[in-house]
Amino acid sequence: MHDVVIAGAGPNGLMLACELSLAGVRPLVLERLPEPTTEHRANGMVGQVVRMLDRRGLHERLAGPLGRPLPRFVFGAMPLDLTLAPDAPLHVLPVPQRRIAAMLTERATELGVEIRHGHELTGLDQHEESVTAEVAGPDGTYSLEARYLVGADGGHSVTRKLAGIGFPGVTEEHSVSRSAHVTVPPEIVDPHTGGLRVPGHGVIPPLSHYRTETGLFVYATLETGTSVTTIEWVADDTGDDTAMTVDELRASVRRVLGADVPLGPPEGDGPHLARRLHGRNTRLAERFRDGRVLLVGDAAHVHSAIGGPGLNLGMQDAIGLGWKLAAQIHGWAPPGLLDTYEAERRPAAERVVMHTQAQSALIGPGRPVTALRELFGELLRLPETVRHIANTMSGADIRYTAATAHPLDGRWAPDLVLEDGRRLAELTRTARPLLLDFTGTLGDDVRGWADRVDLVTGKAEADATALLIRPDGYVAWASSSAAPDDTERKSLRSALERWFGLPLDA
């Protein structure tokens, strides 16, 4: 019997496989595609997941050491000046999704994960102690037994449908998004900003979302090539079986900007992006768990891609689930630990649904929206507004517990550096719970959990003298006392039991 079968070898499923492997569980990953896709999807990651990759040693594999937060970003196609709120960092990793998936595939393989391409989940049957998965592979159908099954198989999740989990939400039909790789004449590229000179609009900056009263225009030069995207708020009866062309995109740009932009076909062999999407869906699964079946990523939630929140949300689902599922399999999980997965991650998904819908409203057509944007532009000049939005977009506003004993309880652990030069990100690469003890007095209190909690002592500039950090990077307990008293030690042991089960001598 397998411990965990994961349906889907995208970034979310692969991240979960890596987390489980680090926790001593060997998952099996099924992927219906016969080989990794070359389809153009996300262009990178935005938010806390970038810092989480650093804490697993994976950021360096994609882009070297973790860089500084962004000085500026966009919200609802409006500029977000992050220098007004430097204490609300927003990190971006502009790497195409297929390279992220390739890196995670490599890491999962290093950790001993088996990935079966060309094997598709076709049925499931739950029992008291296991799940039977029916699989269609290149050589026929077969059955697998697993203690748990996780669906990381996207918005059209077969896992979710087979488990009978509803997917309510809304569909906006009156919009069309077109994206394609293109070439542009060098004479219309501004040499100072890299933006496009467009008659009647001046220079449209790259990587911005330029909104008019009839649509949205985005121009970007990324690792995958130069691309243009438009969104129009109109019905369109072009069938999905009709290939998108540069001519079609050029006509759409003319309607959105009221000006001709001389776009040409892309250079090189490709693969090249050419995509047309009708409408958009916003949906949230009725539940993230049904017995021994769980959902992560797009299988649990779909939303607008505006602001790039998808991988931030989905991969943090995987990181939040991995250690809890491993604890359940190893037998030390306290009662109800696995249920906290949905209790914590569903509100995070609701926040993303909320702010992507708000951004979609701000890019809508018409003069009333223009007036709303004018007012919102005034708000975006206030540091407190910028701080709030940056924290919301990055996911840094999440607090997993209602505990108020310490301001850091339930929050993302700060990026500390110990006096000996060790970074917190270097101490969390094992994905084990971690007690950072700057008092040097708590060793006896954590001894009973030595098989599953690491203890690190030292000194650091911090707003706490001790931090108990969960594998997903969130604080389970904190203290500000130079010499924790009996009450604080008792609260530490209570937090250890709550999240990491009974001590060995219990």
Highest average pLDDT, of 303-312, 400-409, 431-440, comes from 431-440
Topology adopted by domain 173-281: Alpha-Beta Plaits (3.30.70)
Non-local (6+) Cβ contacts of 413 within 8 A are 424, 467, 469, 473, 474, 475
Q: State residue 403's pLDDT score.
A: 55
Q: State residue 233's pLDDT score.
A: 87
Q: State residue 404's pLDDT score.
A: 60
Cα 340 to the center of its chain, rounded Å: 19
Q: How far apart are CA 106 and CA 113, in angstroms?
A: 10
**Which tokens in the block code for residue 251?**
């006509």
pLDDT band at 228 (very low <50, low <70, confident <90, very high): very high
Indicate the class that CATH gives domain 2-44+95-167+285-360.
Answer: alpha beta
The CATH number of 411-500, from 3.40.50.720, 3.40.630.40, 3.90.960.10, 3.40.30.120, is 3.40.30.120
pLDDT digits (tens, 9 = 90+) for 100-137: 999 999 999 999 999 999 999 999 999 999 999 999 99
Same-fold call for 173-281 versus 411-500 = no
**Which tokens in the block code for residue 125?**
């049957």
pLDDT digits (tens, 9 = 90+) for 319-350: 999 999 999 999 999 999 999 999 999 999 99
**Which tokens in the block code for residue 368?**
């009333």
Please, are residues 255 and 232 in contact by the beta-carbon 8 Å criterion?
Answer: yes
Q: How far apart are CA 49 and CA 338, in angstroms?
A: 21
Percentage of the chain exceeding pLDDT 90? 83
Domain residue ranges in the chain: 2-44+95-167+285-360, 45-89+364-398, 173-281, 411-500
How big is the chain, counted in residues?
506
Q: State residue 272's pLDDT score.
A: 87
Q: State residue 271's pLDDT score.
A: 83
Q: How far apart are CA 29 and CA 114, in angstroms?
A: 6
pLDDT band at 242 (very low <50, low <70, confident <90, very high): confident
Q: How is residue 299 annotated by DSSP?
A: G
Buried b (16+ CB within 10 A) or exposed e, 273-294: bbebebebebbbbebbbbebbb
Q: State residue 89's pLDDT score.
A: 87
pLDDT digits (tens, 9 = 90+) for 455-492: 999 999 999 999 999 999 999 999 999 888 999 999 99
Average of per-residue pLDDT values in the chain? 93
Asked if pLDDT for residue 184 goes beyond 60, the answer is yes
C-beta atoms surrounding 199 within 10 Å: 11
Q: How far apart are CA 193 and CA 183, in angstroms?
A: 17
Q: State residue 222's pLDDT score.
A: 81
Quickly tell me which residue has 């090249």 as its tokens: 272
Percentage of the chain exceeding pLDDT 70? 99
- Strand, helix or coil for residue 209: coil
In 32-88 the beta strands, taken as DSSP E runs, fall at 45-46, 72-75, 78-81
The answer, yes or no, to whether the previous bond of 271 is cis (omega within 30 of 0) is yes
pLDDT band at 84 (very low <50, low <70, confident <90, very high): very high
**Which tokens in the block code for residue 165?**
């989990």
From residue 478, alpha-carbon distances to 371, 404, 461, 466, 481 in Å are 46, 10, 14, 6, 9
Amino acid present at 75: F
Angle between helices 48-55 and 310-330 (to 10 degrees): 40
Asked if pLDDT for residue 241 goes beyond 80, the answer is no
pLDDT digits (tens, 9 = 90+) for 379-400: 999 999 999 999 999 999 999 9
Q: State residue 55's pLDDT score.
A: 97
From residue 33, alpha-carbon distances to 37, 143, 153, 419 in Å are 7, 19, 11, 48
Q: How far apart are CA 448 and CA 506, in angstroms?
A: 8
- Strand, helix or coil for residue 483: coil
- Residue from 127, 140, 144 nearest 30 by CA: 144
Asked if pLDDT for residue 238 goes beyond 80, the answer is no
Model pTM score: 0.94
DSSP 138-165: TTEEEEEEEEEEEE-S-TT-HHHHHTT-
